[in-house]
With several copies, the nearest count.
Chain A
Amino acid sequence: MRFWIIRDERQIPVELEERPEGYTAVLDGVTYEVGCARILDGLYSLLMEGESYEVAVHSHEPGSYDVHMYDGVRHVDLLSPLDLVLRSQHGGPGTRGGSVRAPMPGKVVKVLVEEGQSVLKGQGLVVVEAMKMQNELQATADAVVQHVRVREGDSVESGAELVTFGGAQEGD
């Protein structure tokens, strides 16, 4: 099965073929014989040319993976053939819709913009408080505010849409 890793605006192909004790993987044209033992859901022991890796993989949202390794967590954006089809229908890679979402659950303590207002990249939009810390969410590009979805005092879940834009607003 073939997947694509999205990195630095490139689509890197990775192809997996099952074999008795793991996979043959071809990553960006390089072939790896990968011994793979599944310990628990998402927890694997990989052996690649003798080197041992314990990796825990977790996915918060489709196509986005945190790969925990001893020396660090890697974030991998990876698309399946199906994802790729869907993505080509809904727009190019990198755009996630013109909105700013709550990066964590919390409470809206301040709304800094109003509907119809033009904002500049880096301008503060909403302040959300969680764990005794206030966090100002900023525009990641110049845009025009279309809707403000929250009011001061609202509790919001992680991922909740806070502000949407009418202009060109690149995803984070």
Chain B
Amino acid sequence: MINKVLIANRGEIAVRILRALRDMGIASVAVYSEADRAARHVRLADEAYCIGPPPSAQSYLNMDAILSTAKACGAQAVHPGYGFLSENAHFAERCEKEGILFVGPPADAIRAMGEKTRARQLMAEAGVPVVPGTLAPLDSPEAAEAAAETTGYPVMLKAAAGGGGKGMRLVERRAQIASAFRDASSEALKAFGDGSVYLERAVVRPRHIEMQILADGHGNCIYLGERECSIQRRHQKVVEEAPSPLVTPAMRASMGEVAVRAARAVGYRSAGTIEFLVDQSGEFFFMEMNTRLQVEHAVTEMVTGIDLVREQIHIAEGEPLSLRQEDVEIRGWAMECRIYAEDPQRNFLPCPGTIHAVRLPEGPNVRVDSAAFTRGEISMFYDPMVAKVITWGSDRDACAATMNRALMEFQIVGTHTNRDFLLAIVNHPDFKAGALDTGFIPRHFSGVSMPVSSPAAAADIAAAIYAYESSRKQPCTAPPQAAPSAWRRAMMGDR
């Protein structure tokens, strides 16, 4: 039995893990960098230890400091959260060597899935669908034509040596392929000095849909349904939901079975996620596996009632899964919006700084996982995601309406956030209709300047009232000047 766990992370995920540990009656140990002394994960934990200076490399990625802290305080296990050391096979191995349980998969599974090309190979061998294509270069337009017959149209011709769009051609129909092959090849030759071209099925308006799995150390593996994560900005997920508006029960079962096959192929254990590229018809292809808890795991928790962190801990303790596949049931709909400290008006510039005040949404069907607090620092050293707002509804419309309500109640004053951008997304007609793909944000929002809320008399008057009241404040209430130190007085000639 585990009775003390060290959390090798910070921010909202450290807080979320702490809460699961408290629910389980397990003592929690926070670690923190010097920048995080006042952070919420430090204050909510049973114990807390400093592991180094602000830069991640010297603190949250500092394996020596983390492992020696774990040993010194008697933690039997380390939960890595997401990011940082969570997908570091070497760290998982070192934990094992030190006799500390790593709350995650075996190092070999991390490694197998970490090398993306090897993973794709492994998956293809295990019968997991990958985007069909040739991989090897084609030597003629006729060979391209033959290959396209196998994969099906549309296809993408790609320069074997290339990247950055050079030597790429999208081919919709057979009639175009020969000339496209010649164009691509000559462009590739010019750009890279190598005219080799290969071919892949083109996935048009792809959706990002992923499948959550749980596997124990006794050979049991189940899937907990999918999450749709197509709303992305620069490959960063922004809004996620479960289930996906595209996925039917039959498709869910088929994706789920494939995901379980993928996990078994690498001897997986713990919670994990298989990411699929899905075309609008519902055909899906393996992209990669995330061998850790996901940021967006909460939407799966909301619709299944399963606490994924609790399950991770039980699995790490060596227990068999408490659930069978038939116990997993999806109820209603859940969505997550990620609150980033960034300025949508200035090309999503990250906005570190001090939070002047926070108001979090409350009430029915709202969950908030947050690290933000009034007077809290958003540090320039770490990720700008400060909170997740998660809502549930009996159906997708109800869930989206509650997300709208929750976002309206959410407020961070003192720094910019993407809240209004998220409001614009969840109220967009295409979002409401479930017409999603990874091009949603670039297509509907310029990606550079976001719509600004129109002027409102109440806002103008509020600013005037604030200015008026501020002008009437007695100068005495300004923060008192710190007394100059002896050193400073000496420098100033003790004027």
State yes or no: do A and B touch (Cβ within 8 Å): yes
- Chain A interface (Cβ < 8 Å from any Cβ of B): 1, 3, 5, 7, 12, 14, 16, 21, 23, 25, 27, 30, 32, 34-40, 42-48, 50-59, 65-76, 78, 80, 103-106, 130-133, 135, 158
A14 to B347: give the CA distance in the assembly, Å. 32
In the complex, the chain A residue whose C-beta lies closest to that of B412 is A68
Given the known A-B contacts A66-B413, A104-B380, are A73 and B357 also in contact in the complex, defined by CB atoms under 8 Å? no
- Give B370-409 as 1s and 0s: 1 = Cβ < 8 Å from A's Cβ atoms: 0001110000111110000000000000000000000011
A65 to B462: give the CA distance in the assembly, Å. 10
Instruction: Determine whether B457 belongs to the interface, using a CB cutoff of 8 Å to chain A.
Output: yes
Task: Report the minimal beta-carbon distance from A3 to chain B, rounded to whole angstroms.
Answer: 5
B352 touches A55 (CB 8 A): no
B467 touches A80 (CB 8 A): yes
A14 touches B352 (CB 8 A): no
- Return chain A residues, CB-CB under 8 Å to B349: 103-104, 135
A163 to B356: give the CA distance in the assembly, Å. 29
A23 to B458: give the CA distance in the assembly, Å. 12
A25 touches B461 (CB 8 A): yes
Please tell me which one of the listed residues A21, A25, A43, A71 contacts residue B408 in the complex, with CB atoms under 8 A apart.
A71
B459 touches A105 (CB 8 A): no
Stretch from B36-44, B121-129, B159-167 that touches the partner:
B36-44
- Chain B interface (Cβ < 8 Å from any Cβ of A): 30, 37-38, 42-49, 73, 343, 346-347, 349-353, 356-357, 359, 373-375, 380-384, 408-409, 411, 413-414, 419-420, 423, 452-453, 455-471
B46 touches A158 (CB 8 A): no
Task: Report the minimal beta-carbon distance from B70 to chain A, rounded to whole angstroms.
Answer: 12
Task: Report the minimal beta-carbon distance from A40 to chain B, rounded to whole angstroms.
Answer: 6
Most chain B beta-carbon contacts within 10 A, residue among A34, A38, A43, A133: A43
B346 touches A103 (CB 8 A): yes
A44 touches B49 (CB 8 A): no
In the complex, the chain B residue whose C-beta lies closest to that of A26 is B461
- Return chain A residues, CB-CB under 8 Å to B465: 16, 23, 34, 36, 44, 57
Most chain B beta-carbon contacts within 10 A, residue among A12, A30, A48, A55: A55
A130 touches B49 (CB 8 A): no
* Interface of chain B: mostly helix, strand, loop or mixed: mixed
In the complex, the chain A residue whose C-beta lies closest to that of B49 is A50
What 6 pairs across the A-B complex have the smallest Cβ distances?
A72-B453, A74-B459, A57-B466, A76-B463, A131-B350, A67-B459
A121 to B153: give the CA distance in the assembly, Å. 44
In the complex, the chain B residue whose C-beta lies closest to that of A46 is B458
B353 touches A104 (CB 8 A): yes
B423 touches A45 (CB 8 A): no
Q: Given A39-B375, A103-B349, list of 13 further CB < 8 A pairs?
A: A3-B467, A3-B468, A5-B463, A14-B464, A43-B357, A50-B47, A50-B48, A52-B44, A56-B357, A73-B419, A74-B459, A78-B464, A103-B346
In the complex, the chain B residue whose C-beta lies closest to that of A52 is B48
Please tell me which one of the listed residues A30, A40, A72 contacts residue B375 in the complex, with CB atoms under 8 A apart.
A40
B353 touches A158 (CB 8 A): yes
- Return chain B residues, CB-CB under 8 Å to A46: 458, 461-462
In the complex, the chain B residue whose C-beta lies closest to that of A34 is B461
In the complex, the chain A residue whose C-beta lies closest to that of B39 is A45
- Return chain B residues, CB-CB under 8 Å to A74: 453, 455-456, 459-460
In the complex, the chain B residue whose C-beta lies closest to that of A14 is B464
A53 touches B38 (CB 8 A): no
A141 to B356: give the CA distance in the assembly, Å. 33
- Return chain A residues, CB-CB under 8 Å to B470: 59
A12 to B461: give the CA distance in the assembly, Å. 12
A67 to B458: give the CA distance in the assembly, Å. 9
In the complex, the chain B residue whose C-beta lies closest to that of A23 is B465
A78 touches B467 (CB 8 A): yes
B413 touches A70 (CB 8 A): no
Task: Report the minimal beta-carbon distance from A131 to chain B, rounded to whole angstroms.
Answer: 4
- Return chain B residues, CB-CB under 8 Å to A35: 37
Task: Report the minimal beta-carbon distance from B209 to chain A, rounded to whole angstroms.
Answer: 26
B380 touches A65 (CB 8 A): no
Most chain A beta-carbon contacts within 10 A, residue among B45, B353, B464: B464
Task: Report the minimal beta-carbon distance from B6 to chain A, rounded to whole angstroms.
Answer: 12
A24 to B44: give the CA distance in the assembly, Å. 23
A131 to B380: give the CA distance in the assembly, Å. 5
